[in-house]
Amino acid sequence: MVAPRYGIGIDVGGTFTDIVVYDAGTGRQASHKELTTHEDPARGVLSGIDRLLRENAVAPAQIGRLVHATTLFSNALIERKGALTGLITSCGFRDTLEIGRERKYELYDLGIIKPAPLVPRHLRVGVAERITADGSVRVPLDAEALLQAAARLRAQGVTSLAIAFLHSYANPCHEREAMALLLQHCPGLTLSASIEVAPEIREYERVSTTTINAYIKPLAERYIASLADQLGARGIGAPLFLMLSNGGLTNVDEAKRTPVQLLESGPAAGALVAAHLGARDGGSQLLAFDMGGTTAKLAIVEEGKPTVAYSFEAAREKRFVEGSGLPVRISTLELIEIGAGGGSIARLDDIGLLKVGPTSAGSEPGPAAYARGGREPTVTDADFLLGYLNPAYFVGGSMAIDLAAAQAVMRPLAERAGLSVTDLAWGIHDVVNENMASAARVHIAERGKDPRRYALLSTGGAGPVHAYYVAKKLGLRRLIAPRGAGVASALGLLIAPARVDRVATVARDMRAIDWAELEATFARLEADARSVLAATLPNGSAPDMRRLADIRYVGQACELVVPLPPGPYTPLSHDALLAAFEASYVAAFTRTPPATEVEIINVRVCASLAIAGGAPRVQAAKSAAIRAVKGSRMVYFPEFRAFRPTVVYDRYALEPGQIFDGPAIVEERESTLLVGPGGSLEVAASGNIIVTIG
């Protein structure tokens, strides 16, 4: 029998599906970009895998693991293409989703648009039951009313049901009873209970997260099961892991149970690999910039690790405005995502200003240059016309590019704008760069950081093309461009450990903590996390287990997530936990307030376990080229306001220690690096290119 030695990373994006095959024995990797097949994303995944295995003579039995990330579920949420979903909640509370926090995200906007609830009012039903805030049962669950409500919702076409009762985080008995009754009497109905999805305090956020899970769960179950079956039919018996938003991996059953955890899986992989690749060149403080065909993402890497958040907003009505989206209470790598990618469509607004995105041509029909029927000018079309991309070597020469079509779609917009086609193309490139730089400034400033302390590490198919001028707008001095940047997120999937995050609400003043009960709560969460890790990695070793808590001063509305010292906890642990909170508070706000009491709201457990095989070593086969220079072509630079002959380098022929001055173009199969005049590039021993910004 052939021993498994290969890992496969699969990242399904809005435009391209990126696939990497990694040989753990030699460190060699092969990659392929396949246009995403939106009507059936599994078709593009399987087509790309088949091609890579065939071209690299890899037998299905040699595959040891497959790791998958996708934007499929977040796109379904944003585009409102999920299942018809119903909500059963406590009587009198069916309007929680619309009432929300009763706050306007823009106070003086009279025409403000709030995100519409995923579940319309006629599909939200309240049933008699009541748990009080201390967990005691005031009104038993009316089982007959529950089943009648479910029957009415099914009659209206509901296929997925969310159950979220008041204060179930304090006592889950009614939700558990409801789940048991519905499983028995309503076979075929997809169920999501808040105690399984977001078992923590704050009604609106908990109900929102549960309904999002219910909304995408049928799609997730079908897609994941179908992909796993088709992989098995090809003789690939390796386990399929799914990437979570927190930068960890989980098993198929856990992913199907709570797919809301996968909403940011693709961007999380990009941030994870950026931290890994940048660390080799002293990049402990990084802005991880990933730009693909549909969106651009930016994450802050501090001390070599991406920042973790425990909530975020999906489907914002206004891209940069907090409060304009749907709250999601899951652990996720903290990042900002905007509609700025290679497929972003350019247009003139009502007063004649050039706008780019967030609407994207995606993969169907794609940019006009793809010759697939695109009829609107995009960022990729502009990059071709500016000379930044090589039509003969795009995606390694596997795609036929039509420059005449790109010119044709640019011309009408250029005429309306009163610009030449070249000036319009540069305007599109510059506007999308400014969109990303503006989003980065807001994201960094909100966290009290100075962007000039960071280096920019660029990944994604379009990232290295735009990174130089984005970095320049941010006032950065250093840009890191790793090998294989165009498929880096897929490679990042093979770096990730298995991970489980669990949370429970305590809501107690530290003076009134029952320390035995607190320790028992942590022990329960840890046991749950271990069971999921055991199902994910049956032969894994002991996991790394970390304890955290959401702590605040009494009277505050928000908490800090505080890393805690190891347990077990006793009354003697009070001072250590208080010291941990105060240290985190000073790090965030410089000083603590005058003496006041402290309360613990939630407790958390983060369990992780590395997957055998270690982190991939990024390598690339050398080209047969005798010298690094591939040739020269005319490229537009704003510093000259004109095209200039520019040297083009073969990324695979570059040797560590080589230094070249800009302007320059560096080509590899999956992406192209642009270096402007005044800049320079140096090939590091790691294989990364270090660009000094002019």
Domain harbouring 591, CATH code: 3.30.1490
Amino acid at 197: V
The C-alpha atoms of residue 252 and residue 263 are separated, in whole angstroms, by 15
Look at residue 437 and tell me if it is in a domain: no
6 beta partners: 23, 63
| Helix, strand, coil share of the chain (percent; to 5) | 35, 25, 40
Report the pLDDT value the prediction gives residue 3, as an integer from 0 to 100: 56
Q: How confident is the model at residue 623 (pLDDT cuts 50, 70, 90)?
A: very low
Look at residue 328 and tell me if it is in a domain: no
Look at residue 15 and tell me if it is in a domain: no
User: Residue 412: which residues within 8 A CB-CB, separation 6 or more?
Assistant: none
Q: At what angle do helices 463-473 and 421-446 cross, to 10 degrees?
A: 70
Residues 646 and 558 both lie in one domain: no
| Nearest by Cα to 223 from 326, 75, 60 | 75
In contact, 409 and 656? CB cutoff 8 Å = no
SS3 359: strand
Residues 505 and 602 both lie in one domain: yes
Over the chain, what is the mean pLDDT? 90
Residue at which a domain ends, from 166, 193, 212: 212
Residues 601 and 655 both lie in one domain: no
Report the pLDDT value the prediction gives residue 336, as an integer from 0 to 100: 81
| Nearest by Cα to 23 from 70, 72, 58 | 58
Residues 670 and 588 both lie in one domain: no
Residue that has been written with the tokens 């306001």 in this structure: 641
The pLDDT of residue 100 is above 80: yes
Report the pLDDT value the prediction gives residue 146, as an integer from 0 to 100: 97
Lowest-pLDDT choice from 201-210, 211-220, 419-428, 477-486: 477-486
The pLDDT of residue 542 is above 70: yes
Report the pLDDT value the prediction gives residue 362, as an integer from 0 to 100: 81
Report the pLDDT value the prediction gives residue 297, as an integer from 0 to 100: 86
Q: How far is CA 628 from the centre of its chain?
A: 35
Q: How confident is the model at residue 28 (pLDDT cuts 50, 70, 90)?
A: confident
Amino acid at 549: A
Look at residue 514 and tell me if it is in a domain: yes
What is the biggest distance separating any 2 CA atoms in the chain, rounded to whole angstroms? 81
Residues 552 and 642 both lie in one domain: no
Residue at which a domain ends, from 161, 192, 212: 212
Looking at the chain, how many residues does it have?
694
| Domain with 604 in it | 498-609
Report the pLDDT value the prediction gives residue 621, as an integer from 0 to 100: 46
The pLDDT of residue 91 is above 70: yes
Report the pLDDT value the prediction gives residue 638, as an integer from 0 to 100: 94
Report the pLDDT value the prediction gives residue 614, as an integer from 0 to 100: 55
Q: Write out pLDDT tens, residues 555-605.
A: 898 999 999 999 899 999 999 999 999 999 999 888 998 878 999 999 999
161 beta partners: 86, 191
Highest mean pLDDT among 102-106, 159-163, 366-370, 690-694: 159-163
Look at residue 598 and tell me if it is in a domain: yes
In contact, 478 and 504? CB cutoff 8 Å = no
Burial of 411 (0-12, 13-18, 19+ CB in 10 A): middle
Residues 177 and 110 both lie in one domain: yes
The pLDDT of residue 326 is above 50: yes
Residues 201 and 109 both lie in one domain: yes
The pLDDT of residue 514 is above 80: yes
The pLDDT of residue 618 is above 60: no
Q: How confident is the model at residue 617 (pLDDT cuts 50, 70, 90)?
A: low
Q: How confident is the model at residue 613 (pLDDT cuts 50, 70, 90)?
A: low
Look at residue 256 and tell me if it is in a domain: no
The pLDDT of residue 1 is above 50: no
- CA dist 211 to 73, 260, 532, Å? 13, 9, 23
Report the pLDDT value the prediction gives residue 616, as an integer from 0 to 100: 64
Residues 91 and 183 both lie in one domain: yes
Residues 564 and 658 both lie in one domain: no
- Whichever domain contains 138, its CATH number is 3.40.1360
- For residue 498 the two structure tokens come to 């298995």
175-189 average pLDDT score: 96
The pLDDT of residue 281 is above 80: yes
| Nearest by Cα to 323 from 133, 146, 100 | 100
Taken in order 461, 467, 468, 470, the sign of the CA dihedral is positive
Look at residue 330 and tell me if it is in a domain: no
Name the percent of the chain lying above pLDDT 90.
64
| Nearest by Cα to 322 from 601, 602, 115, 585 | 115
> Comparing 530 with 364, which gets the higher pLDDT?
530
User: Residue 151: which residues within 8 A CB-CB, separation 6 or more?
Assistant: 186
Q: How confident is the model at residue 79 (pLDDT cuts 50, 70, 90)?
A: confident
- For residue 71 the two structure tokens come to 């934007």
Q: How far is CA 603 from the centre of its chain?
A: 24
Q: What is the DSSP letter of 617?
A: P
Residues 199 and 87 both lie in one domain: yes
Burial of 339 (0-12, 13-18, 19+ CB in 10 A): buried
Residues 104 and 176 both lie in one domain: yes
The C-alpha atoms of residue 470 and residue 449 are separated, in whole angstroms, by 17
User: Residue 132: which residues within 8 A CB-CB, separation 6 or more?
Assistant: 138, 167, 170
Residue at which a domain ends, from 580, 609, 638: 609
Residues 93 and 144 both lie in one domain: yes
Q: Write out pLDDT tens, residues 371-426.
A: 888 899 999 999 999 999 999 998 888 888 999 999 999 999 999 999 999 999 99
Listed in sequence order, the DSSP H helices in 8-163 are: 41-55, 72-78, 96-99, 143-155
The pLDDT of residue 625 is above 50: no
In contact, 261 and 330? CB cutoff 8 Å = yes
Q: What are phi and psi of 333, to 5 degrees?
A: -65, 130
In contact, 42 and 59? CB cutoff 8 Å = no
How many structural domains comprise the chain? 3
Look at residue 354 and tell me if it is in a domain: no
